[in-house]
Structure 1
């Protein structure tokens, strides 16, 4: 018998796209994933002022949502945090089916299918929705887990196993299951002048370093968790001026940590690109107190062969 599992997902952006791509892989909903992603990219462009719509926001919302068919996506309106607080159309919900054995075949489900029906439900803060026991499964940024519930220690965090080991069970029942691999790395960056000849820009260099380290203020606790408190002895955090590019601020400080994909912008500022400390990726999380057998079967499908990744250097 098919059971239903409610899963909390982000409402927009790269994390939601990563979730949709994973469900496209395991449930054969490529068209749905492409439709939601393209719709939200268009709406983001409207919010940023780089696209001009022909219809007002309520007309677009009505056109996008099909309330008569739960397998078609629904959207909702939120106030964006940009100047003027414009209304922004974001993802609300959709229902998909995941077969017990993996991706659905072209001829559909068999009569013996033991898969699960999945309700993907948008939340502004999926991780916190799991912490308050609203859901048994959900997806959110690994950054948020590190920022909120990972205990700081002398040694740093390098893997999903490290993350879960550092979560105080008295703090939350939520644990990280797997990463989705949508990797934008938190990377060490430095000016050539502070590196001794032949030195590698890695965790051991930071452990021996004394001086300023430039980071975004929101990532201070995250950087402490990942590098470990011992490596940060003698390090003073500095923060970029809001009007300044992060890479330029790091070049002024000499050493920093910033999100990078290729490192090309950092190199344009004369910076050496060092170790990828850990990926800022979307992760599947479980609240074990709320997840039942159907959720466990869904987990198995979502984390099958060639799908699982780990938080830490590759």
Structure 2
């Protein structure tokens, strides 16, 4: 009997799209081609991403659908053909809390195993509670929950496992998927000392005392990537509800925020500084639950070189 390998994935958003993109690319480029005819992994991945982007636009009020949410759910989750994905409904956090269609699961037959992607609200925690051997989630969550705080800063994905206490969890990071945006330090130019050309970097923070504006859920993450010595004398502050993060950082003078181009920060008169840490989707493994089949799936998603960089 073919072994089925369940893998926890996010239900929506950039991390799920990163998983689907990596899966489509690796299946196409490797010997792991589907053994069941008619399953086009690239088309399947693109279809799931397109549906979820469309449903996000509806939840945000940017699109209007002719069919109601239950009719769309039934259409998307038609299981009459093999390899069709299933979706489910969640309450979105946006105004009015609309029902939003999100990913639930799909099973893909590969060479020797069946890969079952299963949507979870918190994949990392599902691995920590031993529900899964493998899963994908943002590296940010690893920093927020299990990475030890030290005086020296944490600077890369490759250093994560060395900061995880094995008495705390059996979960380790296997590889990143490269969908990288950065937690970036930024500040008002007039915050520098008169005549100074110092850049906004970790050394600047080490000498700085005052407010540092961050997202409310990122206190531990920011302490980890700056180092505990650097945050002495720092007072964390947060954007008020509904306020643009860059505007709040401009008022505080200094802050850390996720950036892609940094254009909005510049519009608020901020200067971009050091890229402190990559926010990236990572493949994780619960070492206590890993089987031979799980190893095959991990190899499909991650190169041997990527895995060796994270081996402790």
Residue 136 of structure 1: aligned partner: 133
Q: Does structure 1 retain, via aligned residues, the 8 Å contact 2:189–2:271?
A: yes
TM-score calculated relative to the size of structure 2: 0.90
Q: How does 1:106-125 map to 2 (within 5 A)?
A: 115-125=112-122
Distance of 1:119 and 1:262 partners within structure 2: 35
Q: Does structure 1 retain, via aligned residues, the 8 Å contact 2:173–2:283?
A: yes
Report deviation, 1:186: 0.6
Q: Does structure 1 retain, via aligned residues, the 8 Å contact 2:127–2:133?
A: yes
List 4+ stretches of structure 1 deviating above 3 A.
305-311
Residue 284 of structure 1: aligned partner: 283
2:62 counterpart of 1:62: no
Q: How does 1:166-245 map to 2 (within 5 A)?
A: 166-196=163-193, 197-245=196-244
Residues 125-165 of structure 1 show CA distances to partners (whole Å, capped at 9, x for unaligned) of: 11111011110000011111111111111112112342212
Distance of 1:254 and 1:298 partners within structure 2: 46
Report deviation, 1:69: 3.7
Report deviation, 1:4: 2.2
Residue 32 of structure 2: aligned partner: none
Q: Label 1:307 to 1:32 Cα distance change in 2 as closer, same or farther (>3 A).
A: farther
Residue 272 of structure 2: aligned partner: 273
Q: Mean Cα displacement is larger for which, 80-89 or 180-189?
A: 80-89
Gaps of 5+ in 1: 100-114
Q: For this pair of structures, how many residues does the alignment match?
A: 296
Over the aligned positions, Cα root-mean-square deviation in angstroms equals: 2.0
Report deviation, 1:192: 0.7
Distance of 1:310 and 1:243 partners within structure 2: 40
Q: Label 1:12 to 1:61 Cα distance change in 2 as closer, same or farther (>3 A).
A: same
1:80 corresponds to which of 89, 92, 105: 92
Q: Does structure 1 retain, via aligned residues, the 8 Å contact 2:212–2:255?
A: yes
2:18 counterpart of 1:6: no
Residue 33 of structure 2: aligned partner: none
Distance of 2:231 and 2:273 partners within structure 1: 17
SS at match of 1:154: coil
Q: Does structure 2 retain, via aligned residues, the 8 Å contact 1:70–1:94?
A: no
Q: How does 1:42-57 map to 2 (within 5 A)?
A: 42-57=54-69
Gaps of 5+ in 2: 29-40
SS at match of 1:265: helix
Q: Mean Cα displacement is larger for which, 47-56 or 198-207?
A: 198-207
SS at match of 1:226: helix
Distance of 1:58 and 1:46 partners within structure 2: 14
Residue 257 of structure 2: aligned partner: 258
Report deviation, 1:98: 4.1
Residue 298 of structure 2: aligned partner: 299
Q: Label 1:309 to 1:75 Cα distance change in 2 as closer, same or farther (>3 A).
A: farther
Report deviation, 1:203: 1.2
Q: Label 1:308 to 1:162 Cα distance change in 2 as closer, same or farther (>3 A).
A: closer
SS at match of 1:262: coil
Distance of 2:4 and 2:290 partners within structure 1: 12
Q: Does structure 2 retain, via aligned residues, the 8 Å contact 1:147–1:222?
A: yes
Distance of 1:164 and 1:135 partners within structure 2: 19
Q: Does structure 2 retain, via aligned residues, the 8 Å contact 1:186–1:276?
A: yes
Q: Label 1:93 to 1:172 Cα distance change in 2 as closer, same or farther (>3 A).
A: same
Distance of 1:68 and 1:172 partners within structure 2: 40
Residue 20 of structure 2: aligned partner: 20
TM-score calculated relative to the size of structure 1: 0.89
